[in-house]
Structure 1
Amino acid sequence: MIAVTTFALLTFLQNDPLPRRGALGLASSPLTKEQTTKLKLAEGTGLAVVDVIPGLTAEKANLQKGDVIAKINGKPVAAKSLGEMARNLPSNKTVAFEVRRGDQTIVLKADMVEKPKDPGTDLYDVTYSHVLSNGKRMRTIITSPKKPGKYPAFFFIQGFSPISYDFNLSTATGDVKTIDGPLLHQFASEGFVTFRVEKPGVGDSEGGPFADLDYTTELDIYRQTLKQIKEHGGVDQKNIFIFGHSMGGAFGPMIAAESQVKGIITYGTASRTWFEYILDTVRYQGLLAGNTFENADDEMRLTERLLALVFLERKTVAQVKKSHPQLAQLADAFFPGGYFNQKTLEFWRQLNDTNFPKYWVKANCRVLAVRGVSDYVTYDADHKLIADAVNAAHPGWGKFDLCPDSDHLFHNWPTEKASMQGWTKGKFSMNFGNMMLKWIRATISER
């Protein structure tokens, strides 16, 4: 009886459309301590409205720049909780903003406006679909050429950050809010069926919270999306390509090892053990930021011990601080709230347990591994390792290359130091997109 009930529930979820979430439509910034005191708000609460986006909920409620939002639906608002609060506000239901405007406290109301969908262009249509992963519905967004037919597939897997890729591709500039957007628009416009999936707890996707997800749980959303690609009537099944950006380059070969694709492209990823990679990163980024070689060496001796205890020996942060009090201050700096890079420690432990060269070989497909010359986040060694591992098993199938004037975000900085100093403020470069498209076209032509 339980099995039947579970099957019926999963069937319902698979077939039932995933609801569209609403959009507050505002940009905000946290209040200073002085501002919260003056307004008699609890410390850490209250948000100043920096901008109001036309056509969305905030504008409908008549919020204005300079307003301070104290509460939403009677609950205090804070910068760290606004995103999750907004996710749980149903579309077309009334939202009440308690606002401080000058010396007045007012309540502004409006129905939650549904987030606008990508309208597509004269070259491609956009479909909002979903896949089922671990009993939760994950939003997939698919672009298809206007002309009916079967086209090669381009499956984009993003990095580890909880960034939503539910935006208008044709207006994406490649800034921090639309990372990779110009690449997706390029392939959608060049006759590919493109696929992307929102992470659990991000955008319309169910599940989460994102910070508490482990690596194997997230891996399954990409596995299920690849299954959707294999069942899509508009896809040329002989020409499916996966592009993994950053952490996406770790997920890509693992799902390809289970289900054959024509090729994988990765940019700015790691392929050694993650522990090797993170030690290099701590040392190198410190030096690039101005640390001395002597200090870097001393600091690394403490850092490697701390990270080994947490990631290799799987000690909790509390256990490490108790057994190694000399590491307590460093542990608090590396693991605020018991997380690393805003992700549960188990995510990184599972990542470190993974033998990536094994999956790159097992994927049994053509591979292009690229690093941007100004990408200070990743290293040539990892991308060369990918190509070398593939070529050892399948001679000529792996290629390593460097992309000029391109950092980890594809911004057009000429050097790693320039990228670090101007991080997120560069102009998006299409150098890698053009390189990738050329390689895919050549790979498709191979028989």
Structure 2
Amino acid sequence: MNSKNTLLILAVLLFTSQVWSLDLKTTPLFGVRGIAAENSEGVLIQGVLPQSTAAKMNLQAGDVVTHFNRKKVTDFLQLINLVQALKVGDDLAMQVRRGEQELSLTGKILAKPQEHHQQFEIIYDVVAYKNNLLRSMVYKPQDIKEDEQRPALYYIQGYTCQSVDAALTPDLTMQQLLKEVVLNGYVVYKIEKFNVGDSAGDLKCSEIDFTQEMDGFLAGMKALKKYDFVDSDKVFVFGHSLGGVYAPVLAEKTKIRGIAVYGAVMKPWYDYLLDIFSEQAIIFGTSTEQAKNNVELIKPLLTAWLKSERSWHEIQNDDNLKTAFEANLLPVQGDQVFQRHYTFFRDLNQYNLKQHWLDYSGKMLAMHGAFDIQAISEKWATNLVNTINSKQPGSATYVNFANTDHGLMKYPTMQDLQTAMNSGTYNPASPGSHYNAEVGRALVKWMQNVLEE
């Protein structure tokens, strides 16, 4: 969840489907990873997806995009918004700095293929929620017989507004995990957030709060349980990162056989962010003294943001908070903080996550990677397991994966991981031999054990 090291894939998806008389319009694909360049002079391209618009236009890693359709570009979020305003077939022109060269690249916005796999069926579907259509994807084992019902795993992604469609990133670590699950006989389900990927409607991921996003995931759960090949009494939830926070709240609204989480958090968001500026900062090289000073500086801003009803405009114009904003400890872009609307985390902070877990009566698996910098330490997992087992002994299980990070990547040492992050070679979308397959195997084994009880 550290914004500096978050790799965003700008892959705005294309699919057209007719389900329950509902349509999702074709949406465009650009296909890059990037961050703001130094001094906000454009967007530094970190990677380009194959078969994408960017690849077709010969955009390369290391290029700096300074103008997009004659509009000056200063950060990656702005670039995302500019792409999302386009349609497939629209003309596109970019001004790009490549080393000492200034280039003009032109082309048209392209569409993108759907996910496919030879060993299981992938169903593109639509979930209706109020004035919104959400794209869902169902992985169905090939050996399901007529009238047979299978247990299912509902994957819930982390906090970003990034698409979960992996048509162009089939080797993504999370995709490899989900493949492990479906090839072991489970139906796998995932759903896009509001206005992400193919999803369309009134609500936008970048504008909503935590509760509204939860409503979308609940709509997905209801849709999943309606498939005639799914055993609605044997649906598991796997939440990765912040996805693990949705899970116990979701369980209060619908029956869940078991919950598995990886790299989640149990404490209030305010407290978690204090850990970010203290414990996590030290992992990234901040001195203990500087981290302590940063915590004291940021506390009033966090309080105003997460523990009040003050408007963001008022907070940003508070002279008492000016120094904290100018320190750039929080990644703020307009009304976005950590690339979500400021109300998203404010709303999340109102949830008593510990109590939600205490209210959950099913089986739970907490998985932690020893190199998970975003989760900071294994305390979140051990505390979570101990909390649940204090009420229901034996209900919660803890598994720790050596040398494994938040993105399910495995490195010999923590220094190797940090070097990869700092050099730009860290990429869960193309992990090579770094993907830790033990995580998927542990998840499958746990679900099988729960079903056999």
TM-score range, shorter chain: 0.7 to 0.9
Q: Which amino acid aligns with 2:26?
A: R
Aligned 8 A contact 1:257 1:360 in 2: no
1:51-100 superposed Cα distances (whole Å, 9 cap, x missing partner): 5844x55677x657699988766766665433333333333x44354678
1:367 pairs, out of 348, 357, 364, with: 364
**Partner of residue 420, structure 2:** 422
Alpha-carbon shift at residue 366 of structure 1 (Å): 0.4
> How many positions carry a matched residue from both structures?
415
Change (3 A) 1:107 1:407: closer
2:183 to 174, 186, 189: 189
Report the alpha carbon displacement of residue 204 of structure 1 after superposing the two structures with TM.
0.8
1:331 is paired with a residue of what secondary structure? helix
Aligned in 2, Cα 1:383/1:144: closer, same or farther, shift over 3 Å? same
1:82 aligns with 2:110: no
**Distance change (3 Å), C-alpha of 1:64 and 1:357:** closer
Task: Give SS of 1:349's match.
Answer: helix
Give the 3-state SS of the residue equivalent to 2:393 in structure 1.
coil
1:163 alignment counterpart: 162
Q: How big is the shift at 1:316?
A: 4.5
C-alpha contact (below 8 Å) 1:317/1:335 kept by paired residues: no
Secondary structure in structure 2 of the residue aligned to 1:183: helix
Residue of structure 1 equivalent to 2:274: 279
| Structure-2 change in CA distance of 1:371 and 1:109 (3 Å) | closer
**Aligned with 2:398: secondary structure?**
strand
Q: Is the 8 A contact 1:374 1:416 kept in 2?
A: yes
Q: Does the CA-based 8 Å contact 1:52-1:64 persist in structure 2?
A: no
Taking the aligned partners of 2:414 and 2:59, their CA distance within structure 1 comes to: 40
In terms of Rg, which structure is larger?
1
Counterpart of 1:201 (choices 195, 209, 212) is 195
Unaligned runs of 5+ in 2: 1-17
Q: For residues 293-322 of structure 1, give each alpha carbon's deviation from its aligned partner in whole angstroms, at most 9, with x where no partner exists.
A: 333333322222331232113444554566
Q: Is the 8 A contact 2:166 2:172 kept in 1?
A: no
The answer to whether the 8 A contact 2:34-2:43 is kept is no
User: TM-score, normalized by length of structure 2?
Assistant: 0.80
Q: Aligned to 2:26, what secondary structure does the other structure show?
A: coil
**1:56-67 alignment to 2 at 5 Å?**
56-57=52-53
In 2, distance between residues paired with 1:411 and 1:247? 18
**Identity across matched positions, percent:** 23
Partner Cα separation in structure 1 for residue 103 and residue 392 of structure 2: 69
Identify the residue that residue 406 of structure 1 maps to in structure 2. 404
The answer to whether residue 386 in structure 2 is matched with residue 380 in structure 1 is no
Counterparts of 1:22-421 in structure 2, within 5 Å, are: 22-24=28-30, 53-54=50-51, 56-57=52-53, 79-91=76-88, 93-97=89-93, 108=106, 110=108, 112-121=109-118, 123-148=119-144, 149-168=148-167, 171-174=170-173, 180-207=174-201, 209-316=204-311, 319-320=314-315, 325=320, 327-332=321-326, 333=328, 334=330, 336=332, 337-378=334-375, 379-414=377-412, 416=414, 418-421=416-419
Structure 2 counterpart of 1:142, one-letter code: V
Secondary structure at the residue paired with 2:200?
coil
Give the RMSD, CA atoms, in angstroms. 3.5
Higher helix share: 1
CA shift for structure 1 position 209: 4.1
Assess, with a 3 A threshold, how the Cα gap between structure 1 residues 97 and 418 changes in structure 2: closer, same or farther: closer
Select between 230-239 and 389-398 the one with higher mean Cα deviation.
389-398
